[in-house]
Structure 1
Amino acid sequence: MCDLLSNYMYIIFTTADTVSPTITNCPSDIIANVEEGSMSASVSWTEPSAIDASGNVTLIVKTHESGERFGIGANTVMYIFADPANNLAFCTFAIKITSNESRAPTILFCPSNRTLEVDERSLGTIVSWDEPVVEDTGNVMLLIQTHVSGTFFTIGTTIVSYIFRDNANNMEKCSFSVTVTGDYPDIGAVNPLRQSEGSGGNGGTDVSYIALVLSMIAIVCIFIVVVLLYFRRKDKKKNIDLDVLAMSATNSM
């Protein structure tokens, strides 16, 4: 009976393990610097271990290997250990890679300033250019681009800018101006009454304005004449009706 009870208690205690393994030698956070002209660094560390009351611990997750190369920025390394009862223990630490490089990206080609002329009936024109070319020891990204090649530019001067940035946050800019020249179309340019310009320069605009005014005056005069004829005819008809009435009254007497 005592033997059965002791076996039963042994089973209870051995199946009720809720204690996680204990981590030993979990590395602290590591900061490393890249060599000049490189965008990554090799980092090594002493790998952690774990102990457990069961005497059996298994490493089930390891995100990175010691001696691995890491790019500029923050990286997280994780180890996870498990005992036979599936209790877990975690070891995590950060690896930060920095760069002392202060050299900005090099602009190999940046479009030059350009000037385009449009005729007097245009408000602007489409302008195209070759994209800038940039070089750097690491990765370069286009951070800002104010205009796209093939954009419509109105009359005036516009500044086009590109800003590039590398992984070390060094930046370089490429800028150029686009100038569109020309005269804005005047109102006479779209007037169907406008006549061809002579040597007087703005004579066409003056002629079209005078023609418009004369046309309006003619329309007003015609309207007045029609109104006068209408009322005159009405008054005449009224007088005839009065004469008829008078004659009828005389005959009745």
Structure 2
Amino acid sequence: MSPRRSNAERTETTRAQLIDTARQLFGDRGYSATTIAEIARSAGLTTGALYHHWPGKEALLVDVVHDIHRELAVRIRSGGSVGAVEDGEAERAAEGSGAGRVAEGRRADRATEGGGAERAVEGSGKGRVTEGAPVPLLLRSGLEFLGFCADPAVARVLLLDAPAVLGYERWRRIDEQWWLSPTVRLVERARLARGCPGAADAGADGSRRLALALLGALTSLGHEVAMQGASAVAGAGRTYEVLLKSLFC
């Protein structure tokens, strides 16, 4: 007989169930068209159970956004569908990414929190990306994100509803919580490895600005993919590849 679950385990299970349900409904119907009562009912729980964890729907949306970032981090860490990235590989890597694959890792490794994103990003590829290959890792991570944006449900929640409901600054802070620090470190390694002029003495500010520029470019490309669908992933990936090469090659 299995041991009885603790209250903490039951609480976490309920919380995860509500996040999963809210994420599905927000993705299918949109944030504004989904009510607290519908989320609770679809999860087989009471509205009181939901309010035990969140004061309202907006706070729940914040955790749904974190859940999407968490899934992306897990997929990058595990290598996703993208293998070794060589010249011109962005188009081939983009094939097969997106809608059909997003659900696969949805519940995986919820223990990866914001600070864990650094380990998730830098540990991706399971050995296919070495410590001395930051540019392929930046490309691979970007391609995973663009593939993610091809899923209409992810795009609706992450790129459309979240910034509209939470406000741009708050939405951006969540994104940076997950991705800014690991991207800065990869940029620093790439600049030094490629012998970029002034790389050694540009300091953290220079690398941080470059990292913000890369993340901003990915967000813009992600919006393009979200609007045009999976057929735009390859072109967006090539554009990001060209940007990385112009900076580091």
Q: Give the TM interval when normalised to the shorter protein.
A: under 0.3
Return the TM-score normalized by structure 1. 0.19
Please give the TM-score of this superposition, normalised by the length of structure 2: 0.20
